[in-house]
Amino acid sequence: MASAEAAPVSPDEALSAFSPTLGRTGVALAVSGGADSLSLLHLWADARASAPQLPRAVVLTVDHGLRAEAAAEADFVAGVATARGLAHRTLTWEGPKPAANLQAEARTARRRLLLAAAADLGLDTLILAHHADDQAETFLSRLARGSGVVGLAAMAKARLDGGVLVLRPFLDWPKARLEATIEAHGETWIEDP
């Protein structure tokens, strides 16, 4: 029997996690193809099937143009989204890439692209699949950089960013539960190098 730390997320847990979207006009789901974001896609599709009052959703995948495999990974996500009855759009980071601080610049570009696409599509909510392991990693990374008290604050479950409500409903769940959720759906995921 699987431990609670590695049990798939239940439909009731997912519906509860997505309850802040009730009454919103539409949701953008940020899905890269990793276990955490693919579980977001599947859990949303399952939740909406049982609770059609949840708003419409569009799956967004960012191709940073940094790896040759990225386009195929976006196509993989598009196929999963289509199979689950969800619209999909690939967003591409155009132009030259910086030689320094590439990870930070890529995060900034991803945020900008996701928020702009949500606004263009008339979606007032963006859901990110950050989980408890990400929360701990963020804290340790900020601590190692010498952040002060404010900088050590945890990622918020909900915040407004440019008029879009950004939700992180998985922050209480470890990555192992999201991987178990994907496995329960009979799917595989992409390991981001």
User: What's the sign of the alpha-carbon dihedral 173, 124, 158, 11?
Assistant: negative
Name the band, by pLDDT with cuts 50, 70 and 90, for residue 155: confident
Joined together, the tokens standing for residue 172 give: 């209480």
Name the band, by pLDDT with cuts 50, 70 and 90, for residue 134: low
Q: What is the pLDDT of residues 74-100, one digit of tens each?
A: 999 999 999 999 999 999 999 888 788
Q: What is the pLDDT of residue 3?
A: 56
Q: Mean pLDDT across the stretch 51-69?
A: 94
Please, is 4 exposed, middle or buried when counting C-beta atoms within 10 Å of its C-beta (0-12, 13-18, 19+)? exposed
Q: What is the pLDDT of residues 165-183, one digit of tens each?
A: 999 999 999 999 999 999 9
Q: Is the pLDDT of residue 136 over 80?
A: no
User: Measured between alpha carbons, how far is residue 71 from residues 40, 68, 76, 107, 184 in Å?
Assistant: 20, 7, 9, 18, 26
Q: Mean pLDDT across the stretch 40-66?
A: 96
Q: Is the pLDDT of residue 151 over 60?
A: no
Question: Rounded mean pLDDT of the chain?
Answer: 87
58 pairs with which residues across the strands?
A: 28, 87
Spatial CA neighbour of 125 closest among 52, 22, 31, 49: 22
Contacts (Cβ under 8 Å, ≥6 apart) of 1: none
**In the chain, what percentage of residues exceed pLDDT 90?**
68
Distance CA 155, CA 33 (A): 22
Q: What is the pLDDT of residue 179?
A: 94
Q: Is the pLDDT of residue 18 over 70?
A: yes
Q: Buried (b) or exposed (e) across 153-173, using 16+ Cβ within 10 A?
A: eeeeeeeeeeebbbbbbbbeb
Q: Mean pLDDT across the stretch 28-51?
A: 96
The whole model's pTM is what? 0.88
Contact status, residue 25 vs residue 54, Cβ threshold 8 Å = no
Q: What is the pLDDT of residue 142?
A: 41
